[in-house]
Amino acid sequence: MPQLRQKILVLYLHTPALDSNVVAWSMYDGTGGTNPTTGDSDKPPYNSVVEAMQHGWRVVQFPQQFPAYPGMEYSTSYLRFEYILEKMEKIDD
């Protein structure tokens, strides 16, 4: 009987706008069909979150935006505009 499994796509954008360009990306595959890893692609799978949505991906988390902490205004750290998307796929169990 077919079962549903989750695939997770994480897209990091140029700005918080969902139609801005992807600058980094990750994939985690709960179907077990693929094993994505670091450095496995030079081009993002989609150019924006909106384009991924047009291919059936559902946005499940938006990045929160916070003003910089005092004294940290010019520090950089993690990629700030991280969108998490999912797609449910059937597997044969």
Partner 1 sequence: MIDKTYLLDSKQMAHFVADGYLRFDELIPTALNEAVHAEMEDQGIGRGTAGDPLSEVWPEPSPIGAVFRQPEVQGIIHSLVGPDPLYDHHAVHTVNAGRDVGQHWHADAIIDTRMHFDIQFFYFAHDTPREMGGTMILPGSHYRRVCESDIARYQNFLEQLPVVCKAGTILVVHHGIWHCAQPNQTDRMRYMFKLRLNPTVRQMCLWNTDDLDDPSIPGILNKNHKWYGNDVRLEIVNRIKFWRFLIGDDKFDVGYWMGRLENLPENVLEAA
Binding residues vs partner 1 (CB under 8 A): 10, 12-15, 20-21, 23-27, 35-42, 44, 74-81
In the complex, minimum distance from the CB of residue 19 to partner 1, in angstroms, rounded to a whole number:
14
In the complex, minimum distance from the CB of residue 93 to partner 1, in angstroms, rounded to a whole number:
25
In the complex, minimum distance from the CB of residue 1 to partner 1, in angstroms, rounded to a whole number:
31
> How many Å from the N-terminal Cα to the C-terminal Cα in the chain?
6
User: Cα 32 vs. chain centroid, distance in angstroms?
Assistant: 18
Structural contact between residues 22 and 44, judged by C-beta atoms closer than 8 angstroms: yes
